[in-house]
Chain A
Amino acid sequence: TQLLEQSPQFLSIQEGENLTVYCNSSSVFSSLQWYRQEPGEGPVLLVTVVTGGEVKKLKRLTFQFGDARKDSSLHITAAQPGDTGLYLCAGRSGNTPLVFGKGTRLSVIA
């Protein structure tokens, strides 16, 4: 069974601060995705990374896939209240369905 561990589980920061969320596994993934979910809504895809060492940027969000394709990180620069939400990483290996991490609940306080 593939497991994805996310840390921290909860994070409360002030507006303008930087933060990093981690997603780790002992398994190798062919691709890894990051989602953001608002309460009462489905998850929305932010990014997909497929190459070891890959770095992708989406405005103030920077995503990195580990060289061994077992871990990933999400870094947010100058967090804003609008960034508040549940951030989920999800990985896939070969033909298997997506496996989700437990999520990081981020609260950005103005």
Chain B
Amino acid sequence: GAVVSQHPSRVICKSGTSVKIECRSLDFQATTMFWYRQFPKQSLMLMATSNEGSKATYEQGVEKDKFLINHASLTLSTLTVTSAHPEDSSFYICSASRTSGPDTQYFGPGTRLTVL
């Protein structure tokens, strides 16, 4: 159990366009979802934490107006990269947790974003 999916797995877009990435918990309800960004050959950096029905909490240095996060249901969170630029190209990974406490985080397979 505890499967997390992401869609799309890969996306290529033109500079200036917006891209939406979905994260779904397939067999459990996720009170909390996390969004990470991973640049090539680097580790995962937490971008934001979202609780269902609440505004996301962004990490220092992450622009909330550029990376829009919506967690409208217990099984779906979306990350929208607005006005994407080449420097936003990265591997975006979500994870989901059943509770908002110190619970296990289940990771999705990631989405490779390439901005031309």
Which residue in B41, B49, B104, B110 is a CB contact (below 8 Å) of A42? B110
Known: A31-B102, A42-B93, A92-B102. A97 touches B108 (CB 8 A): no
Which interface class (under 10, 10 to 19, 20 to 34, 35 or more) fits B?
Answer: 20 to 34
Q: Kindly identify, within residues 66 to 110 of chain A, every residue whose CB is under 8 Å from any CB belonging to chain B.
A: 88, 92, 94-95, 97-103, 105
Please count how many residues in chain A sit with their CB below 8 Å of the partner chain's CB atoms.
Answer: 22
Which residues does chain A contribute within 8 Å of B93, judged by CB atoms?
42-43
Q: Mark B4-40, 1 if CB is under 8 A from A, else 0.
A: 1010000000000000000000000000001010000
The A contact surface, by secondary structure, is loop
The residues in A between 32 and 55 inclusive whose CB is less than 8 angstroms from any CB of B are 35, 40-45, 48
How far is A48 from B103 in the complex, measured between Cα atoms in Å?
11
List, in ascending order, chain B residues with CB within 8 A of A105's CB: 41
- Alpha-carbon separation in the docked complex, A99 to B101 (Å): 15
**Would you give the 0/1 interface string for B88-116, flagging 1 where the beta carbon is closer than 8 Å to chain A?**
00010101000011101101111010000
Q: Which 6 A-B residue pairs are closest in the complex by CB-CB distance?
A: A42-B107, A102-B43, A100-B44, A42-B109, A42-B110, A103-B43
Chain B interfacial positions (CB closer than 8 Å to A) = 4, 6, 34, 36, 41-46, 49, 91, 93, 95, 100-102, 104-105, 107-110, 112
A residues apposed to B, CB below 8 Å: 30-31, 35, 40-45, 48, 88, 92, 94-95, 97-103, 105
